[in-house]
Chains A and B, each alone.
Chain A
């Protein structure tokens, strides 16, 4: 091996040092990596906006500053206005959910089912609901413990590095630099790749970043659209029917977030609305038709999303197998509770995109 070749060989090995350091001190580097991933996702979200503004102001740093100031002023204003309402609804809902209200829910559901089913089945239904009584305490305990665990798990990842505020600030700074200097970092990374794999790596990297960027943007926009449409739908439903559903904004937010999970998400978003309807004292007697109307409202929201919103967002469909989705949701749930369930499918999708493009690259360039 000639000196130039040896120098290149050493240069190609340089990346192993930081990687080894990261693995060795993973206890400290993993939370940092988590923050960097969030920062990368935020930068993927804001990059198209920065590119558009860059056409007008020429300088990238000028465009990045304008976008960041605008987004954070808007987000701050939104959080300032929405957060108190959302927090109030969440706190009041938490106080509202007690053993008594759960017993009330059981009673109303039983009345509703007895009204629907033939008389021959009434005894069986009543027996099932009596057996539910014994389970109620266990379910209640499990529910409270699960919520507390998931909140702790979600927080601990970010809080390891410091307080939530400091972590958020770091994430904002990291994402700003990714937006501003992303291409330079990419070039620096590509420089370390041996010549034989240079084009292939760049090709795969371009395809992965494009697919992931459009997926993340698509998912967040779809979640926002579902949230807003669900709130609007529930308001309209209450205006045209005697149905009363409180905590509308909370229900809409849950529906939007739950939409991140395909197939299961839309149903999970609808359940709180039905439950809250059953829990609330209505001005008219509870009817099965009202539940059907709530389900239709959420169905219309999904329909509007599929017909109008999704085609406009043009998020790349990654087509996960339903079985893979169910397994991912279950695995996510067992690892990190409800938070894990929520992020399991997006993470699986990202992994699938990376592998798909990697295999495509290896095959196209004759390495497979």
Chain B
């Protein structure tokens, strides 16, 4: 099949390992996915380039899904209890953020801004729903990984709150 017309129709999902695939296979949410499944995810992702200081998403806007940092640095900012703008987190290559929006349709709880030139891959809720319908096995793996990430963050937040209030009792968890 050397004709590009037919190649386009019968193209294979199994491309050689790309830079994107090498990064996303390190991401906790796509852990334990096969090469074929990763290739399918790579086809779905929206890769975008950002300049330094560009806003990726703003607080209180509808959340569509998560972003994976392929290259560069991102700052997650928001207002604290005293209404001051603070850096919640600084993220770099291989990190991901906004994953709660994959299951929760409510608005974003923080703003994400690039602190260097960035290359990001976006994975959205509709794409996850599509995977869950078409390939439930892959979808379930992603959902389990997502549940693991969110529960780990919840435990971490609980620990932080207990440390702050001086009532740390790990055995309660």
Contact = CB atoms under 8 A, between A and B. Distances in A.
Contacts of A203: 62, 64
Interface string A350-368: 0000000000000011100
Interface in A179-222: 180, 183, 187, 190-191, 195-196, 198-200, 202-203, 206
A199 B64 contact: yes
Nearest to A199: B64
Contact of A190 (B46, B58, B130): B46
A285 B105 CA distance: 65
B113 to A, nearest CB: 11
Contact of B51 (A5, A51, A187): A5
B135 A55 contact: yes
Chain A binding surface, main DSSP class? helix
Interface in A70-112: none
Contacts of B60: 366
B32 interface: no
Size band of the A side of the interface?
Answer: 20 to 34
A314 B133 CA distance: 19
A196 B55 contact: yes
Contact of B61 (A2, A180, A191, A365): A365
Contacts of A5: 51
B16 to A, nearest CB: 19
Nearest to A5: B51
Interface string A232-259: 0000000000000000000000000000
A4 interface: yes
A51 B131 CA distance: 11
Contact of A366 (B44, B61, B64): B61
A4 B51 contact: yes
Interface string A2-34: 101100100000000000000000000000000
Interface string B1-16: 0000000011000000
A195 B10 contact: no
Nearest 9 pairs between A and B by C-beta? A364-B62, A365-B61, A199-B64, A206-B126, A55-B134, A61-B9, A195-B54, A54-B134, A203-B64
Interface of A: 2, 4-5, 8, 51, 54-55, 61, 180, 183, 187, 190-191, 195-196, 198-200, 202-203, 206, 364-366
Interface of B: 9-10, 44, 46, 48-51, 54-58, 60-62, 64, 117, 122, 124, 126, 130, 133-135
Given A196-B54, A196-B55, A364-B62, 17 more contacts: A2-B51, A4-B51, A51-B134, A54-B134, A61-B9, A61-B10, A195-B48, A195-B56, A198-B48, A198-B122, A199-B61, A199-B64, A200-B61, A202-B124, A365-B58, A366-B58, A366-B61
